Each structure stands twice: as C-alpha cells, then as structure tokens.
Copies of this chain bind each other. A is one copy, B any other.
Amino acid sequence: MTTLYGYYRSSAVYRVRIALNLKGLAYDQAPVNLVKGEQRSEANLARNPQGLVPVLESDEGTPLSQSMAICEYLDERYPEPPLLPADAEGRARVRALAQLVACEIHPLNNLRVLKYLVRELEVDEDAKLAWYRHWIIEGFDALETLLKRELGTGDFCHGDTPTLADICLVPQVFNAERFECNLSAFPTLRRIVDNCNALEPFQKAAPSEQPDAG
C-alpha cells in the first residue's frame, strides 16, 4: 500500500485522491498541515524540496511530486480505467484542459502566492479576494467556451468517462465555491462537475471526507 502525503483542502492533493480512487487503489494518508507550515518541515523538504504537497510514494518507494505527473504515473502503472483517451489528439485535448486549470488558474491562487500578496505587497483582504476570483473567472470563461463548443465534450470534459481534465476541474470548482465565486455563467462546467460528484471515487476524495479535515 502506498502513502499519500497531503492536506485535505489542497486542491493538488484532491486531484491525486480522485485518481487513486478512480483506479481503485488503496492508500494511506499522511497529513502535512499547510496552515501550520508543516510543508516546510525537514521531513517534507526531504520528500519534496519545493515544500509542496502532494507527494506519493511510487511502487519502488520513490517520492513522486507534482499532481499531474503523479496522475499520469498512476495511469501508466494501472491502465484501467484509463484517465486519458486512446488517440493522440484526444489526449492532447484532455491534457490541455487539465493544464488550463493546473497551469493558468491554480498556481496563482496557491497559499504561498496569497501569502506573498499580503506580506510583501501589503494587499488587503478585498484585493486578495478579487485576485483569487479574477484568475478563476478568467480561466473558467475560456474553459466554458471550449467545453461548450468542442465535440469531444460529453457527460464529462472528454467523452462519457472521467479523465485527467475532470480530475483537475472538480477541485478547482471546489475552491471557487469556497471563495464564493459566482459560477452562474458556467453551466457546462456545472453540469460536468455534478456528473463527477455523483460518482463514489469523487465523493470519497472530497476534502470533508478526509481524516485530517478540520
């Protein structure tokens, strides 16, 4: 059994929990409390010098980092059910949708970035919230357009089974709701996320269901 080092509310860890659950893999959870700064502990820095979570132990015991890389690792090691379609163009589409979230929205709203805004740039609470919502709304605008117009979209972001794109989308929508973003302009996202959250692997990955949930 593998160990996942993470934090219940980290959306990058949430992605890996969904992937592990979709694959039906059992795993231990080792909490790293981000609010208490445990990601900067010696033990966590040894696992990941970036001081970030998640870290997942590989089958050989190597600490793997970066959530999308971990999901692709799981998909290569445990091919069923697949997290990517079979054709190269479909795979490019799914990866691009996932990266729209993971490279364009999420990095800007990371805890360390919000801390920098407050501590170094002396941004007040309202401006911090506006920043948070701005990047979500800008990214979701593009994502809604893509998902609405492209034929590849089905019950899920790509076709009728969950993929890496859904794995990234669901935690981002969770964050958006936590920070009270208005999501009424994104009916396609809403529909897909509802379809995901009707499935047990997504339900069991939710922050509120984790042993370290506060």
Contact = CB atoms under 8 A, between A and B. Distances in A.
Q: What is the interface residue range for chain A against chain B?
A: 35 or more
Per assembly, the copies of the chain total 2
A131 interface: yes
Interface string A135-162: 0000101100110000000000000000
Interface in A87-113: 88-89, 91-93, 95-96, 98-100, 102-104, 106-108, 113
Nearest to A92: B73
Q: Is the interface of A mostly helix, strand, loop or mixed?
A: helix
A168 to B, nearest CB: 11
Interface stretch (A26-34, A64-72, A193-201): A64-72
A195 to B, nearest CB: 22
A60 B77 contact: no
Interface of A: 48-52, 58, 60, 62, 64-66, 68-70, 72-73, 76-77, 88-89, 91-93, 95-96, 98-100, 102-104, 106-108, 113, 116-117, 120-121, 123, 127, 130-131, 134, 139, 141-142, 145-146
